């Protein structure tokens, strides 16, 4: 909280200083730079030009400062908040300028340079294609759809402002100002809508890299000279040519794993106190008051969760993409397969693709699922004798090994070993097939330890009271989790 408050205070102060530093009197140096950029005669001056420069610089600076604050609150410097904050300032400035202009009939004038026209046209086609994909062809969850609607809102705002710019007027300085506005709106608006639409429909890292390259292209084109010239056709005809790209973009197949970060990445629940127990809250602030304290498991791609309903006591699969809730058979601690296609509960294996349920009578407690097998125990925790058994997805036994079921265990990503918290307060790695101990880890925490999840294939998250720690299984090193992990203590699911 101290860091967030400091960032907000510093950001607010920086924004106020920026507003106060904007001079009221014309600055010859800035006017000269604008004249050179727009290819106006040397020594050119107009009150309208100075008003334009002052308004745009003021609001773009405020937007950029706001973007920097958002970026800092995310513990880093990220391009998208900076870009979107700056462009929000552009939209505010251009809206204020447009309101001050008289309404006149449309004029056949080309304010955009050929490069800016082509850039906007391509971005328009890509954005429309992504929006069609997210909203119609492959509907995303609510938060992703909100990102798509934000992209659509920016798109419509830019089109409206560009239409207001392409109207009749008589003055050279007004042509220069409008050409500069159109250039900035087309390049900045084009890349902003693509960023927003890609955030709503992530299609893999390749397109993310392409969007970053698009930002550099926008910067290059947006800073080039822009002068208005007569045109034989309305401005929107060449600017809309890129819509032919929309069908191809809408049908791009998703890259493997591209949906991983689209859904829920973690969930939190504060510890119970004298005032009672609070409910689960998903990342992004969405509450799930119907979910009981335990169990609570997140689907590998974040699009669903499994929890016990507070009212009925039954396990429920909540699908955020379909906005459905389904009662599940069985009980205990459920687990998903790494690809998210299968779900295991006590005595049951469920194929989430086909909906088929396979009874596994000997499965008393689920330890975890690999790509090919369900690993579980044949006896409850209240006994000392049991077996660690692996079943394939047809319910056949693959391996058996002796195991003490009173010890809590979880399948290590990879599916060949289990992670065990022993009754002596240490941790061990055991082979699924043989029950042989492969490694032991001493946990000198001075308190009882709970398992919280996995941070990658060989890093276990454990907690003692309210301290979150990372155990590196490869080296045996136990370290305190970073601050951004500690903000989500008590219960947390982390997916690599």
Determine the average pLDDT of the residues in 165-191.
83
- The residue-averaged pLDDT of 330-345 equals 88
**Picking from 39-43, 282-286, 477-481, which range would have the lowest pLDDT averaged per residue?**
282-286
Strand ranges in 152-231 using DSSP code E only, listed in sequence order: 229-230
Q: Which whole-number Å values give the CA distances from 211 to 94, 127, 156, 294, in the listed order?
A: 25, 11, 20, 41
Sorting pLDDT into bands at 50, 70 and 90, what band is 28?
Answer: confident
pLDDT single digits (tens) 267-278: 777 655 555 556
Q: What is the pLDDT of residues 63-94, one digit of tens each?
A: 888 888 877 765 445 567 788 888 999 999 99
Assess contact for 314 and 300: CB atoms under 8 A: no
Provide the CA 100 distance to its chain's centre, in angstroms: 38
pLDDT range class, residue 451, cuts 50, 70, 90 = confident
**Residue 373 scores a pLDDT above 60:** yes
Most confident of 20-24, 267-271, 286-290: 286-290
Q: Would you state the pLDDT for residue 140?
A: 58
Residue 313 has pLDDT above 60, yes or no: yes
Nearest-angstrom CA–CA distance, 415 and 371? 8
Which one, of 207, 182, 202, lies nearest residue 119 by Cα?
182
Give 110's strand partners: 229
pLDDT band at 399 (very low <50, low <70, confident <90, very high): very high
Mean pLDDT of 39-68: 81
Q: How confident is the model at residue 407 (pLDDT cuts 50, 70, 90)?
A: confident
Task: Give the span between the Cα atoms of 327 and 329, in whole angstroms.
Answer: 7
Give the mean model confidence (pLDDT) for residues 171-184: 83
Return the pLDDT at 261: 39
190 versus 77: the higher-pLDDT residue is 190
The owner of tokens 């296609």 is 341
pLDDT digits (tens, 9 = 90+) for 204-241: 555 666 667 777 888 888 888 777 777 778 877 888 88
More confident residue, 275 or 287: 287
Q: Does the pLDDT of residue 4 top 80, yes or no?
A: no
Report whether pLDDT(144) > 70.
no
* Contact predicate 388/362, CB 8 Å: no
Give me the residues paired with residue 369 across strands. Answer: 374
- Residue 18: the pLDDT is 61
Task: Provide the pLDDT for residue 1.
Answer: 45
State the pLDDT confidence band at 53, using cuts at 50, 70 and 90. Answer: confident
Comparing 5 with 493, the larger pLDDT belongs to 5
Max avg pLDDT among 412-416, 446-450, 463-467: 412-416
pLDDT value at residue 76: 46
Crossing angle between the packed helical segments 114-132 and 142-165, to the nearest 10 degrees:
150
Phi and psi at residue 333, in whole multiples of 5°? -90, 110
Tell me the CB-side half-sphere exposure of residue 192, using CA atoms within 13 A: 28
Angle between helices 114-132 and 172-200 (to 10 degrees): 30
Confidence bin at 488 (pLDDT 50/70/90): very low
Does pLDDT of 21 surpass 80?
A: no
pLDDT at res. 64: 86
Give strand ranges (E) for 94-246: 109-110, 229-230
Mean pLDDT confidence for 367-374: 89
Choose the weakest-confidence range: 13-22, 54-63, 412-421, 438-447.
Answer: 13-22
Q: Look at 250-254, 410-414, 461-465 and tell me which has the smallest mean pLDDT.
A: 250-254
Is pLDDT of 353 > 50? Answer: yes
The model's pLDDT over 100-133, given as tens digits with 9 standing for 90+, comes to: 888 888 887 778 888 888 999 988 988 888 888 8
Q: How confident is the model at residue 339 (pLDDT cuts 50, 70, 90)?
A: confident
Distance between the two ends of the chain, CA-based, in angstroms?
A: 26
pLDDT of residue 95: 92
The Cα 98–Cα 388 span in angstroms is 71
Per-residue confidence at 196, pLDDT binned at 50, 70, 90? confident
Per the prediction, the chain carries an average pLDDT of: 79
CA distance 85 to 69: 9
């Amino acid at each position: 909280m101290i860091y967030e408050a400091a960032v907000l205070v510093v950001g607010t102060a920086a924004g106020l200083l920026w507003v106060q530093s904007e001079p009221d009197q014309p600055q010859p140096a800035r006017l000269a730079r604008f004249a050179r950029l727009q290819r106006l005669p040397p020594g050119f001056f107009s009150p309208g030009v100075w008003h334009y420069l002052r308004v745009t610089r003021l609001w773009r600076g405020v937007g950029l400062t706001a973007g920097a604050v958002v970026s800092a609150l995310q513990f880093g410097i990220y391009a998208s908040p900076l870009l979107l904050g700056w462009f929000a300032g552009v939209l505010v400035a251009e809206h204020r300028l447009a309101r001050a202009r008289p309404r006149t009939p449309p004029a056949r004038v080309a304010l955009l340079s050929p490069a800016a026209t082509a850039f906007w046209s391509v971005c328009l086609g890509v954005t429309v294609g992504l929006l069609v994909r997210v909203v119609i062809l492959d509907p995303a969850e609510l938060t992703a759809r909100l990102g798509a609607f934000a992209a659509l809102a920016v798109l419509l705002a830019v089109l409206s402002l560009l239409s207001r710019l392409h109207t009749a007027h008589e003055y050279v300085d007004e042509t220069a100002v409008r050409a500069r506005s159109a250039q900035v709106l087309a390049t900045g608006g084009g890349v902003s809508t693509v960023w927003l639409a890609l955030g709503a429909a992530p299609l893999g890292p390749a397109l993310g890299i392409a969007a970053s390259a698009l930002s550099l292209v926008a910067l290059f084109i947006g800073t080039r000279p822009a002068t208005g010239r007569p045109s034989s056709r309305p401005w929107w005809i060449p600017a809309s040519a890129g819509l032919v790209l929309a069908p191809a973009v809408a049908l791009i197949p998703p890259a493997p794993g591209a949906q991983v970060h689209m859904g829920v990445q973690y969930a939190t629940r504060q510890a119970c106190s004298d005032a009672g127990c609070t409910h689960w809250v998903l990342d992004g602030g969405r509450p799930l008051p119907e979910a009981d304290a335990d169990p609570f498991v997140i689907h590998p791609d974040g699009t669903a969760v499994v929890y016990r309903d507070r009212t009925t006591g039954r396990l429920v699969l909540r699908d955020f993409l379909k906005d459905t809730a389904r009662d599940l058979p069985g009980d205990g601690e459920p687990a998903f397969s790494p690809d998210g296609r299968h779900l295991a509960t006590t005595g049951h294996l469920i194929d989430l693709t086909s909906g088929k349920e396979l009874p596994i009578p000997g499965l008393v407690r689920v330890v975890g699922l690999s790509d090919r097998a369900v690993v579980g125990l044949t006896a409850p925790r209240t006994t000392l004798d049991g077996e660690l058994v692996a079943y394939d997805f047809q319910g056949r036994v693959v391996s058996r090994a002796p195991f003490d079921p009173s010890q809590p265990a979880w399948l290590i990503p990879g599916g060949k070993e289990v992670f065990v918290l022993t009754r002596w307060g240490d941790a061990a790695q055991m082979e699924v097939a043989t029950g042989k101990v492969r490694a032991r880890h001493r946990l000198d925490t001075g308190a009882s330890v709970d398992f919280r999840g996995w941070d990658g294939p060989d890093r276990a998250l454990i907690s003692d009271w309210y301290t979150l720690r990372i155990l590196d299984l490869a080296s045996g090193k136990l370290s305190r989790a970073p601050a951004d992990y500690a903000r989500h203590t008590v219960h947390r699911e982390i997916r690599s």
